Amino acid sequence: MFLLLLGFAAQADTTQPFGLATAAAAESPLADTWAKLQARIKAEQPIIAQCRADPQSCRLAPAAEFIAIVDAGAAYEGLARIGHINRAANLAIRTLANGDLDAIGARWTSPLTTLAAGAGDCKQFAVLKYAALEDAGVAPDDLRIVILQQRARPESHAVVAVRDQGRWLILDNRSLALVESSELLRQYAPLYSLDHRGVRRFLEQPQVAQKFGEACAGG
């Protein structure tokens, strides 16, 4: 399968997406939301493991669907594995339109909850990919959910950043392309980074009036 790779340029700092410094944001409301979501993701892992160990007796369709997303990259390594998992996750659920945001679209949900609903916005896609890549063996230090704000208008978006051979790639539900993170800086300003350590705030930020959590503009 053809995987489109955009803008592979050198970064000054490969420890963070976009090569930008971050600081802990443990006191933010987002940190509490992310901690609760991490607990739900962890609680689903034994269910997924049981279905993987004995697929014939697995009666939970979302768990089987999650395993299929991870397995889409099983025959590949590196960029190809990431690309196949990205594609499988993008195709696994329906994108909610702006006017169709119901309860699931307005909040963060765990992977199996998202797959059971069959739809979501950028938050659901990001969490699903984050959990699938983690399950596929991507190291925790190489994986982030990143919240961005469009520079042209005050709309937020959530994507996944994954590091491969020192380069941070962005996985977006709006595209099958793997985009080098620095290429997005013309269009987006990174706000927050979510990973196994908690929530961190990018130090170079625009003036933000809105609170993220309700918006995933355009899905």
Q: What is the mean pLDDT of residues 194-216?
A: 70
Confidence of residue 98 (pLDDT cuts 50, 70, 90): low
Distance separating alpha carbons of residues 5 and 178, to the nearest angstrom: 5
What is the rounded distance in angstroms from the CA atom of residue 122 to the CA atom of residue 149? 13
Domain segments of the chain: what residues?
5-202
Burial grade of 10 (CB within 10 A; 0-12, 13-18, 19 or more): exposed
What CATH number has the domain spanning 5-202?
3.10.620
pLDDT of amino acid 38: 97
pLDDT at 14: 65
State if pTM tops 0.95: no
Q: Give residue-wise pLDDT tens across range 153-181.
A: 878 899 999 999 999 999 999 988 899 98
C-beta of residue 168 within 8 angstroms of C-beta of residue 181: yes
Structure confidence at residue 36 as a pLDDT band (50, 70, 90): very high
**Residue 152 binned pLDDT confidence (cut-offs 50, 70, 90):** confident
Residue among 143, 119, 142 nearest 131 (CA) = 143
pLDDT over 70 percentage in the chain: 82
pLDDT of residue 9: 39
